[in-house]
Amino acid sequence: MNILILVRNMVAANDDRESMYFGIARLVDTPEELWHGEVWAESVLCCSGHFAFFNDGNPVFPSDCIIYSCPIHATSCRSGSVHYGCVRRIYIDDRMESLTNGQKVCIIEPIVFAATIAPPYINIIPNDYKNANNMILIEDGLQTISTDLLISPLVDIQFDNVTSPLVTEQTLVVNYILISKKLHLCQFQLSTPITAELEMNYFGQQFLINCYKPGTGLKLSVPLMLFIDEFRVHQNMYHSFTGFYLTLACLPHFERTHQVNAHPITLGPHGTCLKDIIPIIETGFKSFMHTGMQLPLGNSD
C-alpha cells in the first residue's frame, strides 16, 4: 500500500479536515485530546511551525537549554533572579484560573550547580562532582513559566560528555539527574530522550526551522497513530492475525474512535513475525516524512 496516497486521502476528506487540530499543544485543566498531552508538547514537528521564540526572534524547542528570569520575586528567591533550565514541554496555556492564560508557556526542568544544591540532596552527590561548573538537572522540579521570561539559549553546556574536546574551563557540565521526591541520583546517559531530541537527531535542527520558515507557504504537520492489534478468527490465539491500522492523531477523540477513521494498512498472516512486516511499511513512512505532500486547502496549497 502507498502510504503517501493513503494519508493524502485521509487529510483531504472535507468532513474530517474541519475538525482536525494543527498547532502547538494546549495546557488545560482536564486533558481530553492528544494535543493536550505531554508527547505533543515535547515535539517540534507536531506544532506545525507554531513555535515559541526568544526575544531576538530565534525559536525555542523542547530539550533546549535556556537562561530565564525567575518567575517569583528576585529578592525572595534563594538562587537569585536568573536561572538555568532545560525546556521539557511547550504549550499554550488554556487553564481557566492561570495567570498566564492565553500565553505560550514552557515547562522547565531546573539545572542547578551541584555545589550549591540544598540538603538533603547534597549528601547523595559524589564529592568529586561538587566542582565549580558541574551541574544537576532536577527532573521532577518542573516550573511553568511564560515565554516572556526567556532570556537566551544556554549554549556552553555539555551533557554527559566531560571527555569532549569542546569542554573548556567555562563549560557547564551535566552528568547527573536528580529525582528529588525519591532522593535518587542517576547518570544522565541512563535517561530517556524526549521526542524533540529524537526529531532533531534525525532531521537536524536547521531542517526543522527551514521547514516552517515564513514565506515558504502554509505547512501543516499531520501526526499519525499506528495501531497494531492481534486478533483471532478461530477458536484460539494460536492462529491469530496481526492488523496494522493508521489514524490521524489530530482528530478529536470522538472522531478518532469511529471505525471509518481507522484505516487498515496490512494484515500479518498467522506465523508471520513483526520484524518481517515492519520493514515493508517503514519505507513508505520514511519517504513521506522527508518529502511531505501538497494538498489544496481552500484557495491555497
Q: What CA–CA distance (Å, rounded) separates 229 from 247?
A: 13
- What pLDDT does 301 receive? 43
Q: What mean pLDDT is predicted for residues 193-205?
A: 89
Q: What CA–CA distance (Å, rounded) separates 301 from 105?
A: 30
Residue in 82, 88, 71 with CA at minimum distance from that of residue 112: 82
What would the 3-class secondary structure string for 145-202 be? EEHHHEEEECCCEEECCCCCCCCCCCCEEEEEEEEHHHCEEEEHHHCCCCHHHHHHHH
Q: What CA–CA distance (Å, rounded) separates 37 from 25?
A: 7
Are 137 and 177 a contacting pair, CB within 8 Å?
yes
Range of weakest confidence among 10-14, 86-90, 183-187 = 10-14
For cell 474530517, the residue is 16
Distance linking the first and last C-alpha atoms of the chain: 25
- What pLDDT does 151 receive? 92
Average pLDDT value over all residues in the chain: 82
Band of the pLDDT at 300, cuts 50, 70, 90?
Answer: very low
**Of all residues in the chain, what percent carry a pLDDT higher than 90?**
30
pTM score, whole prediction = 0.84
**Of all residues in the chain, what percent carry a pLDDT higher than 70?**
82
- What pLDDT does 165 receive? 54
Cell numbers describing residue 270: 498467522
By three-state DSSP, how is residue 60 classified? strand
Are 221 and 48 a contacting pair, CB within 8 Å?
yes
* 128, pLDDT greater than 70: yes
- Name 300's bridge partners: 297
* 299, pLDDT greater than 50: no
Residues 166-176 have pLDDT tens digits of: 566 678 889 89
Non-local (6+) Cβ contacts of 98 within 8 A are: 27
Q: How many CA atoms lie within 13 A of 246 on its CB side?
A: 22
Are 8 and 297 a contacting pair, CB within 8 Å?
no
Looking only at the bridges linking them, the beta strands covering 184-187 and 172-179 are antiparallel
